[in-house]
Amino acid sequence: MNYDALPEGFSLYRNIDLNTDKVKTGMQVAAFVALLALIIPAAIVLPPWRTQAFVPITWMSGVYFLLFLAVSVFGYLLLHELVHGICFRVFGGGKARYGHQLPNYLYAASDRYIAKSRYLFIGLAPLVVLTILFGVVCVLVPQSWFWIPYFALAANVAGCAGDVYVCLFVLPRLPKDALVLDSGVAMQIFSREVA
Ligand SMILES: [Zn+2]
């Protein structure tokens, strides 16, 4: 169940802070490892410098390529938050808010108290949905353009480090009745149990 207001008997169980040095470092290492794990094998199979796109026939095709690359690598950030936002509506049952703490990050947030089992879908959706979406685009585009959607795919997977940490390592250890309030910059957990 999800709620507009905190139900009776529930109180703050835990704050989830992803900005502590320890968590931040762990996520950065995980993101870096994920990025290498995706980029290196693909670069061995299809070296970017051998694809036509990296050896522009004309000066203009080089410019287009860099432009598309920039759009895909930054565009994935918007798509990532949009997927969270849509899922806040579908699984959280309420509108999402969007915001930013630029230059650090963009976020989608909700004012609803969301059951942890449902929050799993919201948290992991960008990883699943965008990996499939960018994967399909990788297959559909000419090989010379492969690296554009693939960079976006790899950047998104790496950028999901925080989502994966929360959904796979934090949420499963919380009480069954835990409710998640995700304000985008911070997460609060509420439960009938006392921490
Ligand atoms: Zn996310």
- Distance from the alpha carbon of residue 125 to the mean position of ligand 1, in angstroms: 8
> How many other β-carbons are positioned within 10 Å of the β-carbon of residue 167?
20
Q: What is the pLDDT of residue 53?
A: 57
Q: What is the pLDDT of residue 44?
A: 92
- Distance from the alpha carbon of residue 43 to the mean position of ligand 1, in angstroms: 26
Q: What is the pLDDT of residue 86?
A: 97
CA distance 56 to 149: 18
| Alpha helix segments (H runs only) across 16-146 | 21-45, 59-92, 116-140
Check residue 113 and report its DSSP letter: E
- Distance from the alpha carbon of residue 48 to the mean position of ligand 1, in angstroms: 28
Residues in the chain: 195
Q: What is the pLDDT of residue 10?
A: 95
CA distance 23 to 74: 24
Do 128 and 102 meet the contact criterion of CB atoms below 8 Å apart?
A: no
- Distance from the alpha carbon of residue 171 to the mean position of ligand 1, in angstroms: 15
- Contacts with 29 (C-beta within 8 Å, 6 or more apart), sequence order: none
Q: What is the pLDDT of residue 108?
A: 94
Q: What is the pLDDT of residue 54?
A: 56
- Contacts with 120 (C-beta within 8 Å, 6 or more apart), sequence order: 167, 171
Q: What is the pLDDT of residue 67?
A: 83
Q: What is the pLDDT of residue 70?
A: 83
Domain regions of the chain by residue span: 2-191
User: What predicted TM-score, i.e. pTM, was given to this entire model?
Assistant: 0.88
Q: What is the pLDDT along the chain (195 residues), one digit of tens a residue?
A: 788 899 999 999 999 988 888 888 999 999 999 999 999 999 999 887 666 655 556 677 777 778 887 887 788 999 999 999 999 999 999 899 999 887 777 899 999 999 999 999 999 999 999 999 999 999 999 888 888 899 999 999 999 999 999 999 999 999 999 999 999 888 999 999 987
Long-range contacts from 48-57, C-beta under 8 angstroms, 24+ separation: 48/147, 51/143, 51/144, 51/146, 51/147, 52/144, 53/144, 53/145, 53/147, 53/148, 54/147
- Distance from the alpha carbon of residue 159 to the mean position of ligand 1, in angstroms: 7
- Distance from the alpha carbon of residue 161 to the mean position of ligand 1, in angstroms: 8
Torsion angle defined by CA atoms of residues 24, 74, 156 and 141, in that order, rounded to the nearest 10 degrees: -160
Q: What is the pLDDT of residue 132?
A: 98
Q: What is the pLDDT of residue 52?
A: 60
- Distance from the alpha carbon of residue 160 to the mean position of ligand 1, in angstroms: 6
- Distance from the alpha carbon of residue 51 to the mean position of ligand 1, in angstroms: 31
Q: What is the pLDDT of residue 57?
A: 63
